[in-house]
Structure 1
Amino acid sequence: MTSPAEEIPICSARGCRAPADWALRWNNPRLHDAQRRKTWMACPEHRPTLADFLDARGFLREVAPVAGSPTLDT
């Protein structure tokens, strides 16, 4: 049995089950205080479309590599 900390994050795009390499951190300023962050996970294929969706609404705050992903520089 794996613990939640050992689970591989999955892309948040509808229908995608690929491992996520990116964390898209966002908030809706009309609903959330400035410090609050929600997170969508993204695989390399869906990172641009998910980020564009959030950015077009003014919600995107940060895009960061997921710890342990191949996107991190070693």
Structure 2
Amino acid sequence: MADGAPNREPARAFPSAGLGLFAGPQRAHDAPPVCSRKGCRSDAEWQLLWNNPRIHTPERRKAWASCPDHVEWFEEYLRARGLWKETLPLASDRPMETR
């Protein structure tokens, strides 16, 4: 205010929309995917394709990215639940294969 009185407008509780309030760390588009294991931030080298037959059509594939340290854990987890379909290496010529 021009007369030196403090501004009495209420403070905004949240920043304006579109500022990525819930976005995680940003990675470059050409960087490899990060491992999907909770708490792991390592570069993924594998993709584990899976399908939940109770909610997905048979041809549908979801993919989790995995670093070398967690690929066995993911396979065991998915196999125990009857969800695992295939494990493939991640490469520049073979991006994540969700469909």
- Which band: TM-score by shorter chain? 0.7 to 0.9
Aligned amino acid, residue 32 of structure 1: H
**1:15 matched to which residue of 2?**
39
TM-score w.r.t. length of structure 2: 0.63
Secondary structure, aligned partner of 1:61 = strand
Alpha-carbon RMSD: 1.0
- Aligned equivalents of 1:60, 1:52: Cα separation in 2: 9
Residues 26-67 of structure 1: per-residue CA shift (max 9 Å, x gap): 010011000000000000000000110001000000000001
User: 2 CA distance for matches of 1:17 and 1:64?
Assistant: 20
Q: Give the structure with the higher percent helix.
A: 1
Aligned equivalents of 1:61, 1:20: Cα separation in 2: 18
Q: Which ranges of structure 2 fall in alignment gaps of 5 or more residues? A: 1-27, 93-99
What residue number does 1:54 align with?
Answer: 78
2:61 alignment counterpart: 37
Any unmatched runs of 5+ in structure 1?
Answer: 69-74
Quote the residue 1:63 is aligned against.
Answer: 87
Number of residues paired by the alignment?
Answer: 65
* Rg larger in structure: 2
Tell me how far 1:7 sits from its aligned partner. Answer: 2.8
Q: Which has the higher contact order (CA 8 A, sep 6+)?
A: 1
- TM (normalized to structure 1)? 0.83
Runs ≥4 residues deviating over 6 A: none
